[in-house]
Structure 1
Amino acid sequence: MFDRIAELALRRARLVLTLTVVAVVAMAALGFGAFGKLLSGGFDDPASPSSRAQALIEKEFGGESNLLLLVRAEDGGLGSPAAERAGRQLTGELAGEPGVSRVVSHWDSGGPALLSEDGASALVAAHVEGDDTAVGDRTAQLKERYTGDRGAVSVLAGGPAAVGDDVSTQVAKDLAVAEAIAVPVTLVLLVLAFGSVLAALLPLVIGVIAVFGTFAELFVLGSLTEVSVFAINLTTALGLGLGIDYALLLVSRFREQLAAGAEVPDALRVTVRTAGRTIAFSAATVIAALAALLVFPPFFLRSFAYAGIGVVAIAAVSALLVVPALLAVLGRRVAAGRLPGAKRGADSPFWGRLAATVMRRPALTALPVLAVLLLAASPLLGVTFGTPDERVLPPDAQSRQVSETLDREFPQGDRDAIRVVTTGPVERQALGRYARELAALPGVARVSASSGTYTDGAARPAGPAETALGRPGAQQLAVVHELEPKSDGAQDLVRAVRAVRAPAGTEALVGGEDARLVDSKRAIGDRLPLAVGLVAVTTFVLLFLFTGSVVQPLRALLLNALSLAAAMGAMVWVFQDGHLSSVLGFTPTPVDTSMTVLLFCIAFGLSMDYEVFLTSRIKELRDADPAADPAVSVTLGLARTGRIVSMAAGLLAVSFFAFGTGDVSFIQMFGLGSGLAIIVDAVAVRGVLVPAAMRLLGRHAWYAPAPLRRFHSRFGLAEAGAERPAAGTRPLTGVRTG
């Protein structure tokens, strides 16, 4: 297959490039429509009890208040005639908005929960109708229309709908800033890495194709199923990064062959046969890791699988087809625009000497690295998981200011109550018994139902607010507690509420923020063993087909898991424990469950990317002389790929680190965690731990039982021939293996 690709590039290069231009224009035209198809939200399992409870409350009770307008008087206090008129006018106008229902305010209900304890602020509560995207769009319009200075009062928007809008808006701004940083920095680094302006542009071409192609894919998928708008973030970072990785490998190998004296056609054939095979296996391992995201119920995570699989496949295919065509056209001109004093060869004596040092003293050099990685991973022992809330936003975000004001100045009321809704009608006496059982649970302050308000051992008649909790087809109960929201105690209370037997003939669905957290952790935790198992098995099979060894896949899985644990432990130390919070400008919170899974899959896949880069070259050298000392192939393999891997990792890390400049903390964690995992893997694992492990394993590193060796010889994808240095190749100097 790879020989045919090379011949196609040599004979039909201009046709391939012409068709590529047409395809890119078509993909760009289609892809820009993706932004109108993608959805916000998607963090919850739609089949979970809390999601079903929310849908039932929406249907039977008109939904809960998800938009809160915080009103403050400019002069004279809220009791002034001007503030009174402004508050009533605001309430009336909001109630007349399409898609807005259940509008209540301090001025029409007089409820104490809607007035601050000092009387300086008041609330207007409303329910914005629709799915997550419709709520987001309407909320953005309402904020623009109603917030800010309104004469006698000033208004800020808060509540879940406003938090979601602020997060989406801030992430879009952060993405623009990240791209503005990553693209020029990457271009400069590419020029410095290649020493040639023209050669540096080739990887960017593949990155652009991958991004536009994935946008087109997301447009199609977004027309058929739910796809999160946050998939755009991964598309840009991974598309640019992997496009650079794959093109960098091809261009470097091509220039290496030219520098060794090969003619352009021969250099291109060797490049596609060797580097092309590496890219195909590398893409397969990354896709295997990202495909594991498909097993999770929230479409937020599945969307990253859609985007990630698409961008990896498109980057690999375009690299294998477009870069060879470009190299065939450019030939030796690929080095045009060379910077003065730029390095010509691909070999790196530094990486060769490092490998040789490690191979001579494997235990002495590997143990300190292992100790540092294990120390970095140790914060994982104290990790706690949560879901995003207003604290992921910067302090000046409107919705966060409103939330903090509510906690500080307003009576608690039932804002953090656990919501219980029955799936059918309940007789009044049975409802009372059920409410009393709930009120008797440890930690419950009171339970409000249409039959009354219940505390442990006492009850009082229902008022207008409680009566509204009853409907002919369902009953709603508010379980009010004094526990810290999203704490372990609050989550235990959710489980205790669910353990209470529901009234006969109905199912009691438990919702609210605490229940959403419990269900989110369960949805991911229940599927996590399956996802990890799929990643491990598919990776093992692919690496076995690639290497013919059962030891190499095990070694790769173990070392990659170690580097990933170190990166994730560092993120716990930073974002949960709060270290560097003053520098990065975030509020410490429990680690976001979804982002942790995403970070695992992305970082693991990219680690395998560099594993394949290095292992493929070591295997080429070993196959060229199977009788030679294994240390030679490892040392020369790292010498000839160390520079490429470190450059590729550095360039890809730039794309992810750029997200660290944002103001949404879970995006910061994802970007910094992914970038750190890439750097740790490329430097500590590829530079030290892999050579040490290969030395300690010796020839056993390539072991496979006889039946599997026969299987690999028949079904494994092997090179069409071992690496044969072109005429004029000089041995690497400055490297000793023993």
Structure 2
Amino acid sequence: MMPHALYRLGRYAARRPLTVIGTWLVLAGIVLAAAGLFGQKLDNSTAVPGLDSQRATDLLTSAGANQGGLTAQVVLTPRDQGTTFTTSGEARTALAGVQAEAAKLPKVLAAAPATISPDGKVAIIRLQYPVIEELSGADRDNLQTFVKQAAEGSPLRIETGGDLAVAFDEGETGVGEVIGLVVAALVLLVAFGSVIAMGLPIGLALFGIGLGTSSLALLTYLIDVPTWAPVVGSMVGLGVGIDYALLLVTRHREYLAQGLPVEESVGRAVATAGQSVMIAGGTVVVAILGLAVAGVPFLTAGGISVSIIVLIMVIASLTLLPAFLGLAGHWINRIGFGNRRTTQTSGGWQRWGQHVSRHAKAYAAGTAVVLIALAAPALDLRVGTPDEGTLPQQRTERQAYDLVAQGFGPGANGPLVIAVDTSADPNVVQPLRAAIAADPGIAAVAEPAVTAGVATLIAYPTTGPQDDTTLETIRRLRADVFPTVLGESRAKAHIGGATAGAADVGERVADRLPLFIGAVVLLSFLLLTVVFRSILVPLKAALMNLLGIGASFGVMVMVFQWGWGAELIGVEAPLPILPFIPLFMFAILFGLSMDYEVFLLSRVREEYLESGDNQASVMRGIAVTGRVITSAALIMIAVFSGFILGSNPTAKMFGLGLAVAVLVDATIVRLVLVPATMKLLGKANWWLPGWLDRLLPAIDLHGANAFVAPAPQAEVPVPVGQLTR
């Protein structure tokens, strides 16, 4: 039923292009207008119910304690290196003036008295802000503007950092994405040799991104859309949008080359390649929605947001693109240069497949070793949230971070906010403070502040926020110190703050990652079993997908954690991998790898059903799909690599990881390891127990069942023949 429905959909869009295009434009206009008039701002909340750090935040907030929100630090030091705050009256006067003015900034709840370092060279003014849900990037901008103005003509050098700066640091983007799109356009132009054929995938992807990201401002009425969702959604949407359009345009041009009318050609392209688009896009959506198993609300909301953008790309590919193909008619092949090839078959890829087949054992072993070597560093993957210490040296946040570390020690940049519910036993506060201060991982503990039965203890670790020793200190306080001091008391203590919160989210993600990976792999196995009627093909694909994705994780560890070549992409210090990136990347890459897998193996399966010759079918599949897979991969690599050039560390990690994964999947895995292993397995590739074959639903992706298109009144019905992508 799916091929018939898609065929009719494609023919209708090609026959009524202005109606379809007009409908899309009206819909886009409504969404854009509604987003502009009624759209709400995106959310920066990282709240995760059930975590100890979240309990601390909730306890402080419910008691009305200021420490439940974000903090900012104004860090000051005399410009004259020979003076200190203890010896210079001018420096102390300037410090007092800055503190008085900083307390008047919008949203500032309190400005703590300035703390001066033991050597007298560094002073910190800590500003307390509300919880992140009540703040925006404008509050960070107000603080940074104030600091710049206060530093003009002052005897003090003034920098600013803290939680507020990190929470709203979105980096600079734009140039890299444009470069990626230009490279993608050049690849399409070379692949198609036609300006129109090149422009349609690019235009479709940009239209879908604009509509999808605009709709997120309206989605906020249903869920709290995180601020990073548009960046990730744009990255994924551009890649899949161009990829899906490339496949449909390629198939349409092949049918035109066979002499079919435009409407018929579009209908068949949607009926064949459209099925693969639906399966690949649906798989991406389902996999990303699977992020809900992590139990992290902002990850679930981000997954829903990105899934909506991907879904828009799929629907636009199956409706809007066919309308433009119908409107373009035969002009799709007339404006261009050189040899405008309209067939996928390539003698070069045929020879490559034969070469791999002749040396199947060597290629299978060699590529497996390469993939394992690339994936091995992933065992050292460490999740966390980058702090100001990882920013470029010229940033004010990095300057503030370094000054604080020099004056007060590295732990001063990541204080632990300990919330103690003393309503049942107020006498536990001082013994608890003494026990915390006695811990070897704690440098100092500030005097407690009590508000509505809740005491707040600010503890400063001896090590920095990203140091593993700090995480061990947090675990030790929770597991040993608190139970020992509190004993049978009904008082409860929880550790919050940015450092503890990032550690807790990282541990939650690490705990749920195996479950998520297992679910995704099982889904891929079941889907491929249904599509290709085989046990070994899905099993082999699952293992190869794991190796390919593991290789991308390994490269990320080498670059961001170990620093290999990090300076080439603008990373000046080692970074932990953001907690949600492994989950998101696995979901996205699973869908993308399924795209190439279905594309290649559907053609191999079709050839095998016709000839029964396993080796010949593999060679034919490589020859027919090699050029399109390579072109699609180059486009995705260009798009993803463009995000590496920005200053946003999240975008850099996603861009590098996705680009490497697509490169590995489309070359080492899909065009080397797959044909080599299929040659070695022979006819066992297509073995399926009879009882299981009868239980599985049938999906006519590879053309086992041809259909005849319904005939218009003045036309002779034409068989659609073997359905391939």
So what's the TM-score if we normalise by structure 1? Answer: 0.87
Give the structure 1 partner of residue 129 of structure 2: 128
Counterpart-to-counterpart distance in 2, 1:694 and 1:513 = 50
Q: Secondary structure at the match of 2:227?
A: coil
Q: Aligned pair 1:38/2:36, yes or no?
A: no
CA distance in 2: counterparts of 1:564 and 1:339, whole angstroms: 38
The RMSD of aligned alpha carbons is 2.8
* Aligned amino acid, residue 527 of structure 1: R
Using a 3 Å threshold, how does the CA distance of structure 1 residues 571 and 33 change in structure 2: closer, same or farther? farther
Q: CA deviation at 1:720?
A: 7.3
Equivalent position SS for 1:505: coil
**Aligned partners of 1:486 and 1:517 also within 8 Å:** no
**Which residue is 2:586 aligned to?**
600
Q: Corresponding residue for 2:152?
A: 150
CA distance in 1, matches of 2:219, 2:289: 16
Stretch deviating more after TM superposition (393-402 or 489-498): 489-498
* Maintained 8 Å contact 2:40/2:218: no
Partner of 2:253: 255
How do 1:473-622 residues align onto structure 2 when only pairs under 5 Å count?
Answer: 473-499=453-479, 500-501=482-483, 502=486, 504-586=489-571, 587-622=573-608
From the superposition, tell whether residues 298 and 203 of structure 1 become closer, same or farther in structure 2 (CA, over 3 Å). Answer: same
Q: Which consecutive aligned stretches of 4+ in structure 1 deviate over 6 angstroms post-superposition?
A: 715-718
Percent of counterpart pairs with the same letter?
31
Look up the equivalent residue of 2:217 and give its one-letter code. F
1:494 Cα offset (Å):
1.7
Structure 1 pair 269–104 and aligned structure 2 pair: CA distance change class (3 A): closer
Q: How far apart, in 1, do the equivalents of 2:583 and 2:373 lie?
A: 21
> What are the superposed Cα offsets for residues 256-281 of structure 1, whole Å, 9 maximum, x if unpaired?
12223334344333322211111111
In structure 1, distance between residues paired with 2:30 and 2:390: 38
* Match 1:50 to one of 50, 53, 58: 53
Q: CA deviation at 1:89?
A: 2.5
2:16 — aligned with what? 12
How far off its partner does 1:414 sit? 5.7
Distance of 1:506 and 1:428 partners within structure 2:
8
Q: Is the 8 A contact 1:67 1:125 kept in 2?
A: yes
Partner of 1:365: 363
In the aligned structure 2, how far is the partner of 1:414 from the partner of 1:126? Answer: 15
Other structure's SS at 2:285 match: helix
User: SS of the residue aligned with 1:386?
Assistant: coil
Asked whether the equivalents of residues 117 and 411 of structure 1 are also in contact (C-alpha less than 8 Å), the reply is no
Structure 1 residue 10 displacement after superposition: 4.3
Select which of 53, 73, 81 maps to 1:68: 73
| Residue of structure 1 in register with 2:674 after alignment | 690
Q: Which residue of 2 aligns with 1:455?
A: none
Q: CA 1:715 to 1:667, structure 2 compared with 1: closer, same or farther past 3 Å?
A: closer
Q: CA deviation at 1:31?
A: 4.9
- Paired with 1:408 and 1:560, the residues of 2 have a C-alpha distance of 46
Question: Measured at CA, do residues 713 and 239 of structure 1 come closer, stay the same or move farther in structure 2, by a change above 3 Å?
Answer: closer
SS in 1 for 2:135: helix
Query: Structure 2: how far apart are the matches of 1:569 and 1:101?
Result: 44
CA distance in 2, matches of 1:474, 1:414: 23
Name the CA shift for 1:383/1:522 in 2 (closer, same or farther; >3 Å). closer
Q: Note the alpha carbon deviations across 1:306-337, whole angstroms, 9 max, x for none.
A: 23211221111111112222222322221121
Deviations 1:288-309 (A, max 9, x none): 2212222234344224312321
CA drift of 1:566 comes to: 1.0
Greater displacement, 177-186 / 632-641: 177-186
SS in 2 for 1:510: strand
Deviation at 1:580, TM superposition (A): 0.6
**SS of 1:147 mapped into structure 2:** helix
Q: 1:219-267 deviations in whole A, cap 9, x for unaligned?
A: 2221222111111112222222211111111111111122233343443
In 2, Cα distance between equivalents of 1:258 and 1:721: 22
State the distance in 1 between where 2:704 and 2:372 align: 41
Assess if the C-alpha contact under 8 Å between 1:392 and 1:666 holds in 2: no
Q: What are the within-5 Å matches in structure 2 for residues 98-137 of structure 1?
A: 98-106=106-114, 114-132=115-133, 134=135, 136-137=137-138
8 Å Cα contact 2:276-2:701 kept in structure 1: no
* Cross-structure match for 2:96: 88
Instruction: Look up the match of 1:730.
Output: none
Q: Deviations over 1:24-48 (max 9, x none)?
A: 3333334557985212353x52431
| Counterpart residue type for residue 103 of structure 1 | A
Displacement, 1:70?
A: 1.8
Q: What does residue 425 of structure 1 align with?
A: 423
Taking the aligned partners of 1:383 and 1:645, their CA distance within structure 2 comes to 30
- Structure 2 residue 393 is matched with structure 1 residue 395: yes
Letter matched to residue 18 of structure 1: G
1:24 corresponds in structure 2 to: 28
Partner of 1:711: 695
- 1:325 equivalent in structure 2: 323
User: Which residue is 2:639 aligned to?
Assistant: 655
Deviations 1:539-589 (A, max 9, x none): 223223322323322221111111111111111111111111232231113
Return the offset for 1:115.
2.2
Q: Residue 319 of structure 2 aligns to which amino acid in structure 1?
A: L
Rounded to whole Å, the distance in 1 between the matches of 2:38 and 2:232 is 14
Q: Equivalences for 1:58-457 in 2 at 5 Å?
A: 58=61, 59-63=63-67, 66-74=71-79, 78=85, 82-106=90-114, 114-132=115-133, 134=135, 136-148=137-149, 149-152=151-154, 153-165=156-168, 167-168=169-170, 170=171, 173=172, 175-410=173-408, 416-425=414-423, 427=425, 429-438=427-436, 441-444=439-442, 448=445
Alignment of 1:661-700 (within 5 A): 661-700=645-684
Higher alpha-carbon deviation: 645-654 or 203-212:
203-212
Contact 1:279–1:316 (8 Å) recurs in 2: yes
Distance 2:120 2:438 in 1: 34
Amino acid corresponding to residue 17 of structure 2 in structure 1: A
Question: 2:712 maps to which residue?
Answer: none
| Cα pair distance change 1:719/1:69, threshold 3 Å | same
Kindly state the Cα deviation for residue 379 of structure 1 after the two structures are TM-superposed. 1.1
- 2:713 is matched with none
CA deviation vs aligned residue, 1:654-685 (integer Å, no higher than 9, x gap)? 11101111223343122111111001100111
Distance verdict in 2 for CA 1:723–1:694, change over 3 Å = farther
For 1:15 and 1:472, how far apart are their aligned partners in 2? 64
Q: 1:616–1:220: structure 2 CA closer, same or farther, 3 Å change rule?
A: farther
Q: CA deviation at 1:340?
A: 2.5
TM-score scaled by length of structure 2: 0.89
Work out whether residues 69 and 124 of structure 1, in 8 Å CA contact, stay in contact via their aligned partners in 2: yes
8 Å CA contact 1:128, 1:135 repeated in 2: no
| Partner SS state of residue 643, structure 1 | helix
User: 73-82 or 328-337: which moved more?
Assistant: 73-82
Task: Out of 297-306 and 670-679, give the one that drifted further.
Answer: 297-306
**Secondary structure at the counterpart of residue 86 of structure 1:** helix
Contact 2:420 2:456 in 1 (8 A): yes
Q: Aligned partner of 2:651: which letter?
A: I
Letter aligned with residue 13 of structure 1: P
Do the aligned residues in 1 keep the contact of 2:517 with 2:586 (CA within 8 Å)?
Answer: no
- TM-superposition CA deviations, 1:342-396 (whole Å, max 9, x none): 4343222222221222223211222211111111112123333322211342221
Q: Give 1:82 shift.
A: 5.0
Change (3 A) 1:570 1:49: same
Q: Name the counterpart of 2:722.
A: none
